[in-house]
Structure 1
């Protein structure tokens, strides 16, 4: 296949491009600045610049672009950057696809499990409405920006990814050193549900959706677990205790608005993935913890 990927330098994008190339696909990365490889294409979402020929003839486009929401405090300026980095890139890709006489048939568009807001113990599949938190509002605008592509007949799947568990990076980068030191524990009450997926299964799910006729929101998650269960499983995998809690007030003080994503509860299920025939390599938190903490 010939695949165009935006957001190829992040955790998921890097792993996805490697997997695509490994299976023999041709990958064209949309990059800001000077392209590093002949098959890379320069674009400037802020200026609205993307050569339509970069997308013409592709079998699919995968858009993973967007600033990392967890690396800085969510000031008002940072919130604007979070929204614009998603809506500008997505809108530019969608309108460019719509401008082509024969657009690529598939757009896999990054999104997030924060779409549902803080829902406690409710079990959430893709039919649930979008919530009312800041990140739910981001998802509403983000997914809405794909409308031109959908209207042009492109199959658009919104990748509502959960917390991606990976070795040496991602959401666990700050947590694992504490786990290995034996000083980790529940965050807040620890009873809030975290919807997670391993990086291995995240990439496998994206590859699955390239070839499987699924459209609309798709929960890229495994079996949700409480924060306490996640921390305990990680600690067991490295033979350490997990008994030092972090109070909710401390997280709110240190993380500001982002703390709602840590303390909020999202119990999502991968209904569409399961119904379309996908099976997880890491279906439960114990197998995920073994994968994350494995060496070599």
Structure 2
């Protein structure tokens, strides 16, 4: 397939470009500057500028863009940035696909398990109701922005992504070096459920969804969500390091501001739609995930 990717330079986007190219797909990136080669398409989502002719030969679009939740304190201005960086590009892509005669009829749209809010130990599937709070409102607006494409018959799947376990980058990538040094430990009480998935399974799942007929919300998580302290212990065990010193909630609040509340929220989300449509995780349990994330990649 020819696949166009927005947000291709982030943690997931970078890995996805590499994965799709390695599996025979042709990938073109949407970039917010003049295109430098035929593999790039210039656009300006803030100004609403995107040439539909650049999309015509593609079969699918994957939109992963959005300002990082942990990149700055959640001031009123940064809250607006978080929201606008998700809804404006999504709305532009959605309108463009809806208005095209031909072109891509698949949109895999980034989303988040933040949709469910802080839900304790309740099992959550794609049919579960939304929670409450700022991030819940953001995710709902983000998903709603695809309405024009859906109304025009484009297959839209919302990728409700959990905690992505990666060797570098992202929230987990920041935690891993601390565990390697033996100074990692539970965050707060550590009893909140993290709906984790390895980066390898994340990109495999996105490729899988390109070839199915799945639409609507899809939880991109592993089938075994676990309390956060168990995830940290499993990684520490794989590294043969201790993980006993907890990080107090107050310290997280001082260091991260309101983003700490997101890290400490609990979503016991299950990948019901993924598994129902035949996806098999390479890392379905904590032991295999911890072994993968702590294994240093071979030199290129």
CA drift of 1:273 comes to 0.3
CA drift of 1:256 comes to 1.6
Deviations 1:96-124 (A, max 9, x none): 00111224221000000111000000000
Runs of 5+ in structure 2 lacking a partner? none
1:230 aligns with 2:231: yes
Task: Tell me the residue number matched to 1:73.
Answer: 73
SS of the residue corresponding to residue 187 of structure 1 reads: coil
CA drift of 1:245 comes to 0.3
Query: In structure 1, how many angstroms separate the alpha carbons of the residues matched to 2:112 and 2:39?
Result: 29
Task: Tell me the residue number matched to 2:9.
Answer: 9
Q: Summarize the alignment of residues 183-202 of structure 1 with structure 2, pairs less than 5 Å apart.
A: 183-202=183-202
Deviations 1:114-158 (A, max 9, x none): 110000000000001111121111100000000000000000000
CA drift of 1:70 comes to 1.3
Provide the TM-score with structure 2 as the length reference. 0.96
Q: Summarize the alignment of residues 209-228 of structure 1 with structure 2, pairs less than 5 Å apart.
A: 209-222=209-222, 223-228=224-229
Query: In structure 1, how many angstroms separate the alpha carbons of the residues matched to 2:212 and 2:92?
Result: 25
CA drift of 1:76 comes to 1.1
Task: Tell me the residue number matched to 2:60.
Answer: 60
Query: In structure 2, how many angstroms separate the alpha carbons of the residues matched to 1:168 and 1:116?
Result: 26
Q: Summarize the alignment of residues 257-276 of structure 1 with structure 2, pairs less than 5 Å apart.
A: 257-276=258-277
CA drift of 1:57 comes to 3.0
Query: In structure 2, how many angstroms separate the alpha carbons of the residues matched to 1:168 and 1:264?
Result: 22
Task: Tell me the residue number matched to 1:147.
Answer: 147
Do 1:103 and 1:154's aligned partners in 2 also have CA atoms closer than 8 Å? Answer: no
Q: Summarize the alignment of residues 33-48 of structure 1 with structure 2, pairs less than 5 Å apart.
A: 33-48=33-48
Provide the TM-score with structure 1 as the length reference. 0.98
1:288 aligns with 2:289: yes
Aligned residues, how many?
296
1:117 aligns with 2:117: yes
Report the RMSD for the aligned CA atoms in angstroms.
1.0
Runs of 4+ with >6 A deviation: none
Deviations 1:46-68 (A, max 9, x none): 00000011222311111011111
Query: In structure 2, how many angstroms separate the alpha carbons of the residues matched to 1:284 and 1:171?
Result: 20
SS of the residue corresponding to residue 107 of structure 1 reads: strand
Query: In structure 2, how many angstroms separate the alpha carbons of the residues matched to 1:138 and 1:54?
Result: 29
Runs of 5+ in structure 1 lacking a partner? none
1:108 aligns with 2:108: yes
Query: In structure 2, how many angstroms separate the alpha carbons of the residues matched to 1:82 and 1:65?
Result: 10
Query: In structure 2, how many angstroms separate the alpha carbons of the residues matched to 1:36 and 1:130?
Result: 41
